Chain A
Amino acid sequence: MTLAIEVRDLTRRFGSFTAVDSISVDVAVGEVFGFLGANGAGKTTAIKVLIGLLAPSSGSARVAGFDVLTQSEEVRKRIGYMSQRFSLYDDLTPRENITLYGGIYGLADAEIRARGDAMLNDLGIMHVADKLVSTLPLGWKQKLSFSVAMLHRPDVVFLDEPTGGVDPVTRRQFWEMIYAAAARGTTVFVTTHYMDEAEYCDRLSIMVDGRIAAMGTPAALKAEFGVSSIDEVFVRLARPATATAG
């Protein structure tokens, strides 16, 4: 099994607060890996360390075959990132955003044009390609963000709550896009709060208070906890006291 992400005892502290507490995760190439956890469990912090926005306090991590601390520029060339918060330029059009990121990742003009057109068609937003992004509905913006993160065909893509605040139909389309990306060989590292989405992942981990409390395939996790849904697994782990009492 070739590893796309290799995390060893990764810790990130902010002062005396340990946001990520010695986690170890392996994600295989082409896997869709669900990174679950309650709000404040440390998911976003862990992702920020993996994509090189935050320095780790201790431990190590390799992404796409390179060390995130010492070879961060090599890592950056090979990853895509979609943040929790919409982070494309609102005062540019979808096409201008695509051109910008295509250019930054070193795509040729013709390539940018071709991939941009294909993307806008796939997303069904060709008719607003030259309207300002600020005028688009959230669901479209989120899909655009994801597509821009995939524009340079990264080896690994990090999606931080990509479906937060979007309608069920768009969520379904999102997961179709995620599967399509995985089918092309991109490893997907995704966080979500929707437990039904967690069932779509090849494997997942559940983070509680900065530590990984459980990890495995959805089926294995359900079997381990003797429950019928990931939702129940999550509730048991995230609220241990309640779970024991019940």
Chain B
Amino acid sequence: MRALRFLLRKEFLQIFRDPALVRMLFMIPVVQLLVLSNAATFEVKRARMYVVDHDASTMSRGVVDRLAASGRFVRGGGSGSVALGDDALMRRDVEMVLTIPPGFERDIVRYRHTAVQLLLNAEDGAAAAVTQAYAREILARYATELGTELFPATALAGARAERPPVRGQPAVQVRTRGWYNAELDYRHYMVPGILVQLLTIVGTLLTAMNIVREKEAGTLDQLNVTPVTRSVFIAAKLIPLWIISMVVLSIGLVVAKVAFGVPMIGSLFLVFGGAALYLVAALGIGLWVSAVTETQQQAMFVNFSILMVYLLMSGLFTPVSSMPEWAQWVARFNPMMHFISLMRAVMLKGAGFADVARQLAVLATAGAVVLTIAVRQYHKRSA
């Protein structure tokens, strides 16, 4: 134990003596959190629309005005030809083609219902879905305003080679209310996840490089001929970065609150408790990589491969529930997934200890397993 104290002192001295490392540790996660949280959004602003207005009536102009006035859409051209609109969509000059049929105003007045057509470029499916949802909402509001039913028959242009645009009245009317309230929550939902990912990337990278750097420098041999035990050695490598990661997490949470207004409804204590367990597992994987590789290059490569699986199967970008069975099974072993779900549950929903007990148990187990492997895989004597 006494040896641990001296080794910890040495690790801290080395970390804080490297200005580039300190900058990397504290600046990168915070700056990236600010940048990525703003970038990682599905929100659509100023989508360009091509207008084909066959009706040229007060009401049809009202449709165009309402869409433009929302700020979500800008006019990106217009003519009397749907084909020209198609071309514009094809050339990516516009994101949407709005076609208003002849007799639009007459139908509303006479039959109290009619249809408009939205053609969307669905190469980016998520963006198209959001664009469509905005347009639907705006049209629905205008319809209410007119005291009539006005609904769009939409066709996604990405698939139009196989399927011609569907026109006419949909069989079932779906009310999509609050669609972009979800968008408002989007950052609240993304920021905790992004924070965890950045913390993990920086933390595992530094732990993965740490032992192997000593191997390359030859200083590890000198340590290995001393009576330092393997667990003390691994603890000395883990604890400094664990403490630093906890500090970075705290800074990140402040940034999340101040810059993005992410709520902290549940107990901060639970978040830190989860983080304490999660970081043991996450940093332990880095140490494990470092213990079994021979050069920093190898360590970097192996670590990145693990990180990719880690990040993509964390449920942040794609929900775990929509993954195939086998992938869900793999994801269940991903400590990051459990920690992100814990963070969201506690921060956004105010989940209590009982609600996240399962995640805490998984994180504790993961930490114990990973650390055991790291200690056992680290050998003072090579075979």
Contact = CB atoms under 8 A, between A and B. Distances in A.
Interface hub of A79, A81, A100 (most chain B Cβ within 10 A):
A100
B305 interface: no
In order of increasing CB-CB distance, the 4 nearest A-B pairs are: A103-B6, A87-B222, A87-B218, A81-B225
Interface string A57-91: 00000000000000011001101010101111111
Nearest to A54: B382
B17 interface: yes
A104 interface: yes
B227 A91 contact: no
A124 interface: no
Given A87-B218, A88-B219, A92-B14, A101 B381 contact: no
A101 B5 contact: no
Contact of B381 (A55, A83, A90): A55
Contact of B380 (A52, A79, A89): A52
Contact of B226 (A54, A89, A99, A105): A105
A103 B4 CA distance: 9
Contacts of B383: 55
Contacts of A73: 227, 229
B3 A103 contact: yes
Interface residues of B, number: 27
Interface of A: 51-55, 72-73, 76-77, 79, 81, 83, 85-92, 96, 99-106
A191 to B, nearest CB: 15
Contacts of A88: 219, 222
Given A76-B225, A83-B222, A91 B382 contact: no
Interface hub of A51, A81, A83, A103 (most chain B Cβ within 10 A):
A103
Nearest to A57: B383
16 contacts: A51-B225, A52-B381, A53-B381, A54-B382, A76-B227, A77-B227, A81-B225, A83-B222, A87-B219, A88-B219, A90-B217, A100-B9, A103-B3, A103-B5, A103-B9, A104-B3
B14 A53 contact: no
A83 B218 contact: yes
Interface string B212-228: 00000111011111111
Interface in B194-226: 217-219, 221-226
Contacts of B225: 51-53, 76, 79, 81
A54 B381 contact: yes
A106 B2 contact: yes
B10 interface: yes
B18 interface: yes
A102 B10 CA distance: 12
Contacts of A52: 224-225, 380-381
Interface string B1-34: 0110111011001100110000000000000000
Interface hub of B6, B10, B225, B229 (most chain A Cβ within 10 A):
B225
A54 B383 CA distance: 6
